[in-house]
Structure 1
Amino acid sequence: MRIGINATAQLGRADIDGFVEHARTAETDGFTSYWMAEHPVGGFDALTMLTVIGRSVERIELGTAIIPTYPRHPVALAGQALTVQAAIRGRLSLGIGMSHQVMMDDLGLRDDKPIRHLREYLEALMPLIQTGHVDVTGETIRAKADAIYPVVEPPEVTVAALGPQALRVAGRMSAGTNLAWVGPNTIRDHIVPTITDAADAADRPAPRIIATLPICVTDDPAAVRRVLTANTTMYAQLPSYRAMLEREGVSDTGDLAMVGSEDEVEERVAALATAGVTDYGASEFGLNSDDRARTRALLRRLATTSN
């Protein structure tokens, strides 16, 4: 299992230079990837930020986890993704997803058939990203376009998928899935078999399983879990994440965090690999500088031995 850094927690306090330095440090520390989310109703534009970062780092993979589909037409997203891919020399992993209806309501966007939307979105996005040409007409999406320049190295596309129908679409049409707030038991028993069966049926390679969960090495795990739960209450209220919590048999988002001593946290990271995760995007957390330093030290060691 490869180990990278998910920088989404930096969104509330880091400026552009702060992100660049954060990514440089991640590369120096031996992590294989650097992930950034994009909130659908404001904040940094993830692809623009990764372009800036990509001009300052040399080797590390840069990925979105994730870009919401509804606010962007697939032709517009393909154009931006191809531009970023060229700018950062072929290191982009484009994670997309439908986000959550409560967030789309804030934008006046609604679709009563989300799986149809996801399928048609990929039917438009993938040909343009992979070949530079698309001509499709669906029930909700029409796309007829040609890339101005030849596509030399298409970026990888993964899909945030939790339910069985979305996982099957992701398995048939993309390189894998990009997960948040999903525990190892659910990944092992639900995510991996569903998406892998779909990929096999479509004669596609084994899907990439990218998972993000908070991580903290600390002497006070109870306090860390309390703060994490309080800070992420809205996620536990979203129907798709609530379903994943119930599958895992936990009540709160804080229960999913990999928290405790070095040995305890290392064991939890190993459980992700055993469950079938191919890439762990570590979301570092800490109530103090000592916790943060211990967490990065453990991750740095694990990255050196795992990647």
Structure 2
Amino acid sequence: MTAYSIMMPFAPQRPEQLLPFAALTQWSASCLWQGQGNVGDTHISFAHAAASGFRVPMGTSVNLMPFLHPYDAALRAQTLAATTGHRFVAGFGPGAAVLQRGVLGAPYRSQLGAVREYATIVRSLLEHGEVHLEGEYFHCGMQLARYPRPAVEIGLGVLRPRMAELAGEVADVAITWLTPAAYLRDTVLPALRRGAERAGRPTPRLVAVVPMALRHADRDPVALALASNSGHMRLPHYRDMLQRSGISVDVAADAQASGRALIDGGAFLYGDPAELALGIKEFVAAGVDEVVLNMSGVCATYGSRRTLGELETVLGETSP
């Protein structure tokens, strides 16, 4: 059965700002997801929610590898699984080349090679309590104390076929963002299966973070699509993924046309509750195991209170 979850629609400046979304997750959704924190630390916000009584399944979509050594990533993931009492999805991604250069001095020579080493270290620490890896990008010869806790699932951010194949080989969860349903069905899922078959392991769960907004008479859907996604649309790997899915964007040249292309191409869902439910069903039919409702554009434009109400509406529409 497909799960329906919530993406934290903004980076909280204070951890208590996450609590209303954790409460909605507790009552109406399967998991609370949060991206890389650029104001406050995501792991601390999650721990604060659990300590405040909202012990719900949580996941990171995604933590950027240059900011966090894989040993620290494994330690934090294990701690949050124990703290929440639920399985935790530790999602990782290499980030854009410009970010790698800013943090590390140069981009990874091989994005796939760096991700493989990172995931290998994290998995070995979590499953075996130790690791000895001297790689091109990461070195770790350490032990991590193991104790009873819920499972930690290793997730990889996936946009294109080669990363999807790698996720099939080494991850438990493939996490996509801004990817139309047809592209997931025709490109990402087959690549996941190829990687899993090559490694002789089950195909990872496919989690799609789907940006969306409810229709209202006073709203401009293109403005909402841009408020939610204009930053991602400027990054080369997102533009390439969208081009592969038949969506051409160039925010610098024509932001309005780019936002409209997202909507027309099914990367951003816009409509009344029934229409959004139909759009979400397309992701389910494409093979997605978990749909994460992302209303960051609504939140940036209208605030968190209205966003909470609209998330509740859409979750109610998707309930069996």
Note whether the superposition's TM-score is higher than 0.5.
yes
Aligned to 1:260: 271
In 2, Cα distance between the equivalents of 1:137 and 1:191? 30
User: Of the candidates 217, 221, 227, which is equivalent to residue 224 of structure 1?
Assistant: 221
In 1, Cα distance between the equivalents of 2:170 and 2:203? 12
In 2, Cα distance between the equivalents of 1:65 and 1:281? 10
Deviations 1:166-214 (A, max 9, x none): 2111111110211111111111111111012211332222311111122
Aligned to 2:7: 6
* Structure 2 contact 59–90 (Cα < 8 Å) conserved: yes
Which shows bigger deviation, 102-111 or 60-69? Answer: 102-111
Is residue 2:92 matched to residue 1:80? Answer: no
* Structure 1 contact 186–244 (Cα < 8 Å) conserved: no
In 2, Cα distance between the equivalents of 1:133 and 1:274? 40
Aligned-pair distance for 1:231?
Answer: 5.5
Aligned-pair distance for 1:225?
Answer: 2.0
Aligned to 1:37: 35
In 2, Cα distance between the equivalents of 1:54 and 1:303? 26
Aligned to 2:234: 237
Count the aligned residue pairs. Answer: 300
Is residue 2:282 matched to residue 1:274? Answer: no
Aligned-pair distance for 1:300?
Answer: 2.5
Gaps of 5+ in 1: none
RMSD over aligned Cα, in angstroms?
A: 2.4
Q: Secondary structure at the match of 2:91?
A: strand
Q: Secondary structure at the match of 1:96?
A: strand
* Structure 1 contact 168–198 (Cα < 8 Å) conserved: yes
* Structure 1 contact 129–151 (Cα < 8 Å) conserved: no
Aligned-pair distance for 1:151?
Answer: 5.9
* Structure 1 contact 218–261 (Cα < 8 Å) conserved: yes
Gaps of 5+ in 2: 250-257
1:108–1:14 CA distance, 2 compared to 1 (3 A):
closer
Aligned-pair distance for 1:132?
Answer: 0.9
Is residue 2:206 matched to residue 1:209? Answer: yes
1:220–1:245 CA distance, 2 compared to 1 (3 A):
farther
Aligned-pair distance for 1:61?
Answer: 1.2
**TM-score, normalised on structure 1?**
0.89
Q: Secondary structure at the match of 1:106?
A: helix
4+ residue runs over 4 A deviation:
287-294
User: Of the candidates 294, 299, 303, which is equivalent to residue 314 of structure 2?
Assistant: 299
Q: Percent identity?
A: 19
Deviations 1:29-55 (A, max 9, x none): x1011000014xx32211121111123
**TM-score, normalised on structure 2?**
0.85
